[in-house]
Structure 1
Amino acid sequence: MRPAFYAVVVLVGAVVVTMGVSRLKSPSPMVDRSAIQIVTVRRGPVTRKVQGLGVLVPEEVRWLAAATEGHVEQVMLRAGARVKPNTVILQLSNPDLDHQLVDGELATKKSKAGLANLRVQLESQLLNEKALEAQLQSEATESRLQAERDEALLKMQLGTAMNAKISRARAESMTTRLQLEKEKLTIADEAGRAQLAAKQAEVAQVRAL
């Protein structure tokens, strides 16, 4: 009988303890008043600044292949450095390309010198043609005046028909020579321009290589 009584007492005690514990409230967290700041709530943008120590890691890594082979001579920037368009990251060298560059520069200088020489030659030829044209113009004018004088003397019966005929033939011949020289000068000018254009195209092609 007594063991049953003890069991009932223990059971009742356990129920009372359980009810008491369930009614207990957890204590509210305590914060020091000086450690917080109380302000009025406002609507607006929130600026977030994030700082930290370490090295920047790229989100995406892309390997770039050079058009030609070369040796890395100098690394200008390391991983994580900020770059802008046309920023030099590293310097490569290739002896073959260096030789090709020197050869290209020499070929360009040679082509430019040839262009300048051709321009001088064409200008000299053009000046000679113009000088010859001026000389023929003077001779043609003189022959025409001589023919007109002989014609006048013939009309006044102070000259012979033979002299007038010779003067007239000479004047016509000089006029024809002058006309041919003008056409020759025009052709020479056009040919010179074509040669200069071809030489300039050659220089441009050499520079593009």
Structure 2
Amino acid sequence: MKIALTKKQPWKKWSVIASFTLLMAYAGYSVSGKATKSVPLSQLSFQTVVQGDLDIYANAYGEFASAKERLLTAPALGKVAEILVRPGTKVSPNTIILQLSNPRLVQEVNAAKGQFAQQLAQREAFKYEQQSERLNFQGRIADIEAEIEKAQLELSVNKNLLDLGIASKIELQRAKLAVKQESSRLDFEKRKYKQFIKMQGHQLTQRDITITQQQAQVNLLEQQLDDMKVKAGISGSLQSLDVELGQSVQLGQSLAKVGSDEELIVRLRLPQNQADQIDINALVLIDTQKGIIKAHITRIESVVSNGSVLAEAVIDQALTSNARPALSISAQVFVRHQLAINYIEQIPGFRPRSKQRVFVRDTNNTLIQRDVTFGELSGNKLVITAGLQPGEQIVSSDTQQYSKYQQVSITE
């Protein structure tokens, strides 16, 4: 039996291999980005890299706050009888925010006043008693002085009689002794009287001290009663009210808070990665949507919260018309002055502190993808730390559709 063998055709095998190889090479060529694409110049916009000195500012956000705040607390036990002002209302120091009532405090004031009046009356009566006692002392002294005059008269008579030989020497000695005794008695009474006057002065001082203490008690209670009319104390606006009508309150309990309107400060949240570069007294530019206000940093906290650090700034210029406590603001805080730095105008899509791939225009009118590292954003200036040189142009228009191409040619 004859078996016919089919002749092999190697060219077909090599044709398949060659086609597959070409297909893979094209795919690799496309994937590797060696393929090119053309784009009209009219569809592109560019930013030129600039080199120069630049003030670096950190972006911050925050709000205005009252430079002066006053917490209003209950001066005594009481109940909220009347609310006269609601939060947001402009107030002056004498504006009554609310009225508290406490009948027992009223009774205490009246009782203290009555006791004070009683002590005043007792003091007056005591002064009359002291005057009467002084008169009694003076009367006794006058009696002794009269006895001395009488004794001196008898002594004189006895001397004359003795000279005439009528009186005896014993009578003369008795008269002298009487004068001496009465004189000693007078001296003793006068010394007692001086001590008595000093004692009366101390007694009166004690009563005055008691009256002064009672007067202070009356004043304290009257002040407490007057403080039941809770007043703002400063000019500004009522920021919060912590009680309701009819509510009972304890001594020292928080009632409301008042803050100044014209004297404001700024509370800012600084980026954590720039906070340690910012100095006290650093310039702050505050945007209130109605103008830019200058301020300066006065305090920076050390605690980091949610990626930011709290700081305070004092305002150095007149406020805009919309400035008020709790108004949200944005701000630029001066960090440092940088010499000979590369930067471009901010372009949407270019992120600060990131590394991105962008199209750069070369001298052959071709766009070439390049890795560029961006630094800080200061105002509308985006710092370039690597990947670009001064004078080079990068595409600022949307090139997302060309991102798969390594190069893109520009057509006129």
The 4+ residue runs of structure 1 with deviation greater than 4 A are: 59-63, 76-82
- AA matched with 1:131: G
- AA matched with 1:105: K
Q: Residues 78, 127 of structure 1: CA spacing in aligned structure 2 closer, same or farther, 3 A cutoff? A: farther
C-alpha distance in structure 1 between counterparts of 2:100 and 2:203, whole Å: 41
Give 1 or 2: higher helix fraction: 1
- Residue 201 of structure 2 is matched in structure 1 by 193
C-alpha distance in structure 2 between counterparts of 1:84 and 1:140, whole Å: 77
Alignment of 1:41-80 (within 5 A): 63-79=71-87
Q: Residues 149, 64 of structure 1: CA spacing in aligned structure 2 closer, same or farther, 3 A cutoff? A: same
C-alpha distance in structure 1 between counterparts of 2:85 and 2:160, whole Å: 96
Whether 1:177 aligns to 2:189 is no
Alignment of 1:1-209 (within 5 A): 63-79=71-87, 81-209=89-217
**In structure 2, the residue corresponding to 1:89 is in which secondary structure?**
strand
C-alpha distance in structure 2 between counterparts of 1:167 and 1:103, whole Å: 64
Q: Residues 83, 149 of structure 1: CA spacing in aligned structure 2 closer, same or farther, 3 A cutoff? A: farther
Q: Name structure 2 gaps, 5 residues minimum.
A: 1-64, 218-412
C-alpha distance in structure 2 between counterparts of 1:88 and 1:150, whole Å: 90
Query: What's the offset of the Cα at 1:135?
Result: 1.9
C-alpha distance in structure 2 between counterparts of 1:108 and 1:129, whole Å: 32
Give 1 or 2: higher strand fraction: 2
Please list the CA deviations of residues 17-36 of structure 1 after superposition, one character each: whole Å capped at 9, or x if unmatched.
xxxxxxxxxxxxxxxxxxxx
Query: What's the offset of the Cα at 1:128?
Result: 1.1
Task: Report which stretch shifted further, 178-187 or 80-89.
Answer: 80-89
- AA matched with 2:130: L
Q: Residues 154, 62 of structure 1: CA spacing in aligned structure 2 closer, same or farther, 3 A cutoff? A: closer
**In structure 2, the residue corresponding to 1:143 is in which secondary structure?**
helix
Q: Residues 95, 126 of structure 1: CA spacing in aligned structure 2 closer, same or farther, 3 A cutoff? A: same
C-alpha distance in structure 1 between counterparts of 2:94 and 2:160, whole Å: 85
Q: Residues 88, 128 of structure 1: CA spacing in aligned structure 2 closer, same or farther, 3 A cutoff? A: farther
Please list the CA deviations of residues 106-142 of structure 1 after superposition, one character each: whole Å capped at 9, or x if unmatched.
2212221221121111111011111211221122122
Query: What's the offset of the Cα at 1:69?
Result: 2.1
C-alpha distance in structure 2 between counterparts of 1:113 and 1:197, whole Å: 15
- AA matched with 1:71: K
- AA matched with 1:171: V
C-alpha distance in structure 2 between counterparts of 1:62 and 1:184, whole Å: 61
Query: What's the offset of the Cα at 1:80?
Result: 5.0
**In structure 2, the residue corresponding to 1:90 is in which secondary structure?**
strand
| Seq. identity, % | 25
Q: Residues 77, 124 of structure 1: CA spacing in aligned structure 2 closer, same or farther, 3 A cutoff? A: farther
Q: Over aligned residue pairs, what C-alpha RMSD do you find?
A: 2.4
Query: What's the offset of the Cα at 1:79?
Result: 4.7
Task: Report which stretch shifted further, 139-148 or 66-75.
Answer: 66-75
C-alpha distance in structure 2 between counterparts of 1:62 and 1:208, whole Å: 26
C-alpha distance in structure 1 between counterparts of 2:90 and 2:76, whole Å: 26
C-alpha distance in structure 2 between counterparts of 1:140 and 1:91, whole Å: 75
Query: What's the offset of the Cα at 1:188?
Result: 0.8
Query: What's the offset of the Cα at 1:191?
Result: 0.4
C-alpha distance in structure 1 between counterparts of 2:70 and 2:184, whole Å: 77
Query: What's the offset of the Cα at 1:75?
Result: 3.8
C-alpha distance in structure 2 between counterparts of 1:74 and 1:176, whole Å: 76
Q: TM-score of the superposition, structure 2-length normalised?
A: 0.34
Please list the CA deviations of residues 157-193 of structure 1 after superposition, one character each: whole Å capped at 9, or x if unmatched.
1322222122111111111111111011111101000
Query: What's the offset of the Cα at 1:143?
Result: 1.1
Q: Name structure 1 gaps, 5 residues minimum.
A: 1-58
Please list the CA deviations of residues 67-104 of structure 1 after superposition, one character each: whole Å capped at 9, or x if unmatched.
32212333444555554334433322212212221221
C-alpha distance in structure 2 between counterparts of 1:199 and 1:72, whole Å: 40
